[in-house]
Amino acid sequence: MFDDFLKLELSGEVISSLIVMGIIIILAIIVGIMARFQDPLKKPKGLLFLAELGVDFFDNFTKGMIGTKLSGFGGFIMAIAVYLFLSFIFGLTGLPSPMTNMAVPLSLGLLAFFGIHLVSLRFTKAKYFKRYIQPFPVFLPINMLSMWAPLLSLTLRLFGNALSGYVLMNIVYFALENLSEMIFGGLVSGGWGGIFIAPLIAPILHLYFDLFSAFIQTTIFISLTTIFIGQEIPDEDDALSSNIQLSREGGK
């Protein structure tokens, strides 16, 4: 049984995902050590300064979107954002991006999906189950189907954008290699004629398909996740009216 485990074959995307998670863990350990020995009276520098800047940004971002009812939620969103951005740009290393494997976007979508419903259960409690039979119990099948909409939306958006960029860049490399071979093939022997044009054009395209697209998709994903979860948190006015109604019913 142990020999079968050692023979477990992992796809390139899964290996890339493990590498990305390893990088994040190492950076987190380094930041933690630096924070422990940092003088609180001195301004942080370098990696620690970037980490504190990121924490402040995501804390303010989540507070602006959903308020202060979820303590520590900024750290949750920051962890997703860092992993997502690094996964998108990981293709620059020449290894496959984790996002081109459907399992990775699906995992992130499930993380947001469970977050939505766990937050809803926390704040609405028993009323959470009433949402599926409103406005009438006959709407239960439709409401049960609609609950999966955020999962499909978040997952397919990530996977579709990552896969389209991956396919387009492969087509571009194939076309540039053949064009370079046509121009320089007669001048350079040994099959090296196809390497001259791609380094001049491909980096410009990588700026969009890897860096710019990574920033856009990360921003969209964390924004939608925060909005979906924030919609499950009742407003203070709604909570107050609900408590008044419950107190009146208890008085009766």
Band of the pLDDT at 1, cuts 50, 70, 90?
A: very low
Whether residue 140 is predicted with pLDDT greater than 50 in this model: the reply is: yes
Identify the pLDDT of residue 33: 92
Identify the pLDDT of residue 9: 72
**Domain ranges (residues) in the chain:** 10-91+99-234
**Cα angle, residue 212 at apex, residues 98 and 53 outer, rounded to 5°:** 90
Instruction: Count the neighbouring beta carbons within 10 Å of the beta carbon of residue 165.
Output: 23
Whether residue 3 is predicted with pLDDT greater than 70 in this model: the reply is: no
The least confident of 6-20, 111-125, 145-159, 229-243 is 229-243
How far is Cα 159 from Cα 154, in angstroms, rounded to an integer?
A: 9
Average pLDDT, the chain: 82
Band of the pLDDT at 7, cuts 50, 70, 90?
A: low
pTM across the whole model: 0.81
Q: Which two tokens stand for residue 116?
A: 């939505």
Q: Which of 145, 144, 114 is nearest to 129 (CA)?
A: 144
pLDDT average, residue stretch 156-167: 88
Are the C-beta atoms of residues 143 and 131 closer than 8 Å to each other?
Answer: yes
Band of the pLDDT at 110, cuts 50, 70, 90?
A: very high
Q: 12-37 and 103-124 helices cross at what angle (nearest 10)? A: 50
Whether residue 138 is predicted with pLDDT greater than 90 in this model: the reply is: no
For 14-33, give the secondary structure using H, E and C.
Answer: HHHHHHHHHHHHHHHHHHHH
How far is Cα 138 from Cα 142, in angstroms, rounded to an integer?
A: 9
pLDDT in tens, 190-199: 566 667 777 7
- The DSSP string of 209-246 is IIIIHHHHHHHHHHHHHHHHHHTTSPPHHHHHHHHHHH
* Single-letter amino acid, residue 187: L
Are the C-beta atoms of residues 35 and 46 closer than 8 Å to each other?
Answer: no
Whether residue 252 is predicted with pLDDT greater than 60 in this model: the reply is: no
Identify the pLDDT of residue 239: 47
